[in-house]
Structure 1
Amino acid sequence: MNKSLNLVGVALLLASSTSAWAASTVDLTVKGLITPNACTPAVSAGGMVDHGKISAKDLVQNNPTTLPKAVLRLTIDCDASIPFALWPIDNRSGTATSSSDFGLGLVNGNKKLGRYYLTPQNLVADGTPAQPIASADGGRTWYSERNWELQTLWGAGTQDDASTLLPIKSLVMDLEVSTQIAPANQFDFSDEAPIDGSATLEVVYL
């Protein structure tokens, strides 16, 4: 009788363990969509904004120094009319004096030299004027945005509807590049310091 009770107890224990293990599992799904369409971005001047040599004496001591603005021409040509956006990547992440803008690298060891930001202008989508829009939730919702920021998707909408991303075959725009050097009194410019901004604009298909 005791042996029988022991066997029953073991059987119940095993059943309980199996049930608990099954309840601790989780499913994983891998999905996506391969599209036959592709977009090719291109930017004028090889994507280079060169401010040349700037004398440290010409920098503002107690406030940021705004450098002359530059304008680059950005074109995106697609195989067909499709919805797409741009995802900005700061290749100097963590060096900007503003978290929403691109960095210019570090000087004097670990000091942030400044920032730059991009302002889209004169958008033309398939020959029709458009407006710059952005999404902070992965493309679910869109809003009008004059200055494009990091951590947002960049796109184009019609001039009277900022809430909808346009499907586009050819997009052309001017990108105004605005650069600021942080107050100069925090730096040691006894040696040359490079302005070292770098960014990647990645086409995202939506």
Structure 2
Amino acid sequence: MNKHLVALGSALLFTASLPVLAASTTELTVTGVITPSACTPTLPGAVDYGKISVQDLQADRYTNLERRTLQLSVNCDAATLFAISPIDNRAGSAIHGSAFGLGLINENQKLGRYHLTFGNPAADTPSTLLTRDEVNNRWYLLFDDDAVRPNDLVALGSLTDSGWIPHPLQNATMDITLHTAIAATNTLTLTSEVALDGSATMEVKYL
């Protein structure tokens, strides 16, 4: 056999047996949009349940407190596409994972929880309350009795040919109702006064 062909064949065989080398670098992409408009959310004060006697609480199940409603207003410099995201500042202290917490006793006893519901929207344009399904990435109706979980999105919008979609607004208001409950007292150490310590932030998310 031609010696040149033998050498070429050996070189090709050696090349084919080499491992495919993976790239040793990868890229980070940073994207976003800067909006000239700004929106300011406002809530009128805090919810204070005053002093609650231990004798008025259930020992073996949670005790529902009176519902309280506040009005959230959002005012923007111009018509802006936005949503509200409630953030639980006491995350991990709620007796239900989908609710907001009221703080801890002795660092590990969960004092209770509160759910948030939204209602009575009013805005520059007739609007319906919407929330987004993160799994399917679509908006759908938010009913008055639907509990909004921490970090959910709540927007105001309308029905279009493509379904429910938020629309830009300059001024809007909506009611936020707290459905608060104290944990069963047989799970708590209540030998001295204990303060309810719920805290949430209403963050404007620009869409």
Report the TM-score, using the length of structure 1 for normalisation: 0.82
Q: Which amino acid aligns with 2:134?
A: D
Q: Which amino acid aligns with 2:128?
A: Q
In the TM superposition, what whole-angstrom CA distance separates every residue of 1:127-164 from its partner, at most 9, and x where no partner exists? Answer: 53x32211142994111223221232111223x56721
In the TM superposition, what whole-angstrom CA distance separates every residue of 1:22-81 from its partner, at most 9, and x where no partner exists? Answer: x23212211211110110111112xx0000110111101122111111111110011111
Change over 3 Å in CA distance of 1:157–1:138 after alignment to 2: farther
Give, in angstroms, the shift of residue 117 of structure 1.
Answer: 1.5
**Matches of residues 119-198 of structure 1 in structure 2 within 5 Å?**
119-126=117-124, 128=126, 130-137=127-134, 140-146=137-143, 147-158=147-158, 160=159, 163-198=164-199
Change over 3 Å in CA distance of 1:20–1:127 after alignment to 2: closer
Change over 3 Å in CA distance of 1:30–1:109 after alignment to 2: closer
In the TM superposition, what whole-angstrom CA distance separates every residue of 1:84-139 from its partner, at most 9, and x where no partner exists? Answer: 011221100100011111000011331111101111111012153x3221114299
**Aligned residues of 1:74 and 1:174 also touching (Cα < 8 A):** yes
Kindly tell me the number of residue pairs found equivalent between the two proteins.
188
Identity of aligned residues (%): 41
**Equivalents in 1 of 2:116, 2:53: separation in Å?**
25
Deviates most, 114-123 or 148-157:
148-157
Give, in angstroms, the shift of residue 198 of structure 1.
Answer: 0.4
**Equivalents in 2 of 1:178, 1:89: separation in Å?**
16
Q: Which amino acid aligns with 1:170?
A: N
Match of 1:101 in 2: 99
Match of 2:9 in 1: none
Structure showing the higher helix proportion among its residues: 1
**Equivalents in 2 of 1:105, 1:26: separation in Å?**
42
**Equivalents in 2 of 1:86, 1:139: separation in Å?**
19
**Aligned residues of 1:131 and 1:144 also touching (Cα < 8 A):** yes
Q: Which amino acid aligns with 1:82?
A: T
1:44 aligns with 2:41: no
| SS class of match (2:166) | coil
**Aligned residues of 1:85 and 1:203 also touching (Cα < 8 A):** yes
> Structure 1: any 5+ residue segments left out of the alignment?
1-11
**Equivalents in 2 of 1:138, 1:152: separation in Å?**
12
**Equivalents in 2 of 1:111, 1:57: separation in Å?**
19
Runs (4+) of structure 1 exceeding 4 A deviation are none
**Equivalents in 2 of 1:145, 1:61: separation in Å?**
34
Q: Which amino acid aligns with 1:20?
A: L
> Structure 2: any 5+ residue segments left out of the alignment?
1-13
**Matches of residues 12-51 of structure 1 in structure 2 within 5 Å?**
20=21, 23-45=23-45, 48-51=46-49
Q: 2:113 aligns with which of 108, 112, 115?
A: 115
Cα RMSD after superposing both structures: 2.3
**Equivalents in 2 of 1:135, 1:127: separation in Å?**
20
Report the TM-score, using the length of structure 2 for normalisation: 0.82
**Equivalents in 1 of 2:197, 2:133: separation in Å?**
27
**Aligned residues of 2:125 and 2:169 also touching (Cα < 8 A):** no
